[in-house]
């Protein structure tokens, strides 16, 4: 039997807070309970926002919490060539297209009257207009040759047609991981998502599915905030012929104001808590573990 594999995959673009502590500790607890592996993956594709200092902070915080993980740690920024190979395949198969509109151009394109009815993705962002998808190949080449900035977007209609079936994933019902239910994947809700940028040959979605497969991750345990993004990731897995892990999207740790914690909320940062004399044991209690 192959070993069950869990992973904690933070982005070093800020300091870890109680929400990350819960996610990491829950992965540790579940991996231990089934005698599985725990991997740590550094998701640092956004090289403008990520830094070695934040990465060092992640290691310090996790060690303090009592976490151990396998070496070597996969650092996504060291594997751009790997993602590029996968992206090239999607380009060759006509499943992505260069999208030239910036955020403000998208806003300008959606006129006042349309604004109310324009479809929005589950994060509330207007979905990408179907303009660039229709551009003739010659015009695309011309703009790229001129150095126009663009991102590679997944043609979700073409992708769904290629897959030719409805998609779903298996979601564990609770932390006991004893039962799963089938969840319908709804990648169309996101419109044509970005799968790569001109200067970074991947996106969060693409790197996650490639790495989860490459690292043999069988159990993706992460926050509820990524629940509907799983639909996009299932579609990419299917297009690329990658295995599908089972998922558990855990509760989020909320701040005193009842809102999701963010990396800028200093008072729930792990380093700040540690310096204030809070122990790793206290953190477990604070997150309900």
Positions that interact with ligand GLU (CB under 6 A): 9-11, 43, 208, 222, 226
| Shortest reach from residue 241's CB to ligand GLU, in Å | 20
| Shortest reach from residue 264's CB to ligand GLU, in Å | 14
Give the nearer residue to ligand GLU in terms of CB position, either 183 or 208: 208
Give the nearer residue to ligand GLU in terms of CB position, either 148 or 289: 289
| Shortest reach from residue 216's CB to ligand GLU, in Å | 15
Give the nearer residue to ligand GLU in terms of CB position, either 211 or 238: 211
Give the nearer residue to ligand GLU in terms of CB position, either 128 or 204: 204
Pair of tokens at residue 151:
């991102």
Spatial separation of the C-alpha atoms in residues 63 and 72, rounded to whole Å: 15
| Shortest reach from residue 161's CB to ligand GLU, in Å | 26
Give the nearer residue to ligand GLU in terms of CB position, either 9 or 261: 9
| Shortest reach from residue 125's CB to ligand GLU, in Å | 17
**Number of alpha helices (DSSP H) and beta strands (DSSP E) in the chain:** 11, 10
Residue 69 vs residues 24, 223, 269, 271: alpha-carbon distances, Å = 11, 20, 21, 20
Q: Beta strand pairing status for 96-99 and 151-154? A: antiparallel
With CA atoms as reference, report the closest residue to 57 among 44, 38, 71, 70.
Answer: 44
CA–CA–CA angle 37, 4, 44 (5° rounding): 55
φ and ψ of 265, to 5 deg: -80, 95
Beta-carbon neighbour count of residue 76 at 10 Å?
A: 24
């Amino acid at each position: 039997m192959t070993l069950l594999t869990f992973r904690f995959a933070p982005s070093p673009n800020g300091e870890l807070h109680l929400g990350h502590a819960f996610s990491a500790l829950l992965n540790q607890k579940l991996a231990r309970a089934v005698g599985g592996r725990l991997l740590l993956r550094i998701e640092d594709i956004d090289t403008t926002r990520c830094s070695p200092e934040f990465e060092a902070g992640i290691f310090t915080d996790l060690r303090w919490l009592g976490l151990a993980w396998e070496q070597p740690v996969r650092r996504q920024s060291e594997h751009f060539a790997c993602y590029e190979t996968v992206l090239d395949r999607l380009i060759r198969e006509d499943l992505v297209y260069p999208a030239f509109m910036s955020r403000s151009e998208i806003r300008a394109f959606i006129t006042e009257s349309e604004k109310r009815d324009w479809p929005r993705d589950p994060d509330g962002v207007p979905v990408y207009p179907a303009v660039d998808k229709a551009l003739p190949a010659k015009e695309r080449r011309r703009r790229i040759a001129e150095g126009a900035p663009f991102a590679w977007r997944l043609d979700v209609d073409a992708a769904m047609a290629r897959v030719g079936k409805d998609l779903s994933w298996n979601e564990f019902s609770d932390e006991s991981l004893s039962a799963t239910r089938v969840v319908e994947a709804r990648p169309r809700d996101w419109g044509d998502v970005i799968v790569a940028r001109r200067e970074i040959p991947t996106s969060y979605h693409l790197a996650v599915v490639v790495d989860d497969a490459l690292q043999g991750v069988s159990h993706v345990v992460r926050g509820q905030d990524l629940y509907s993004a799983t639909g996009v990731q299932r579609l990419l897995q299917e297009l690329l012929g990658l295995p599908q892990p089972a998922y558990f999207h855990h509760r989020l740790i909320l701040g005193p104001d009842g809102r999701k914690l963010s990396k800028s909320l200093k008072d729930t940062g792990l380093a700040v808590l540690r310096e204030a004399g809070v122990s790793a044991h206290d953190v477990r209690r604070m997150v309900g573990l």
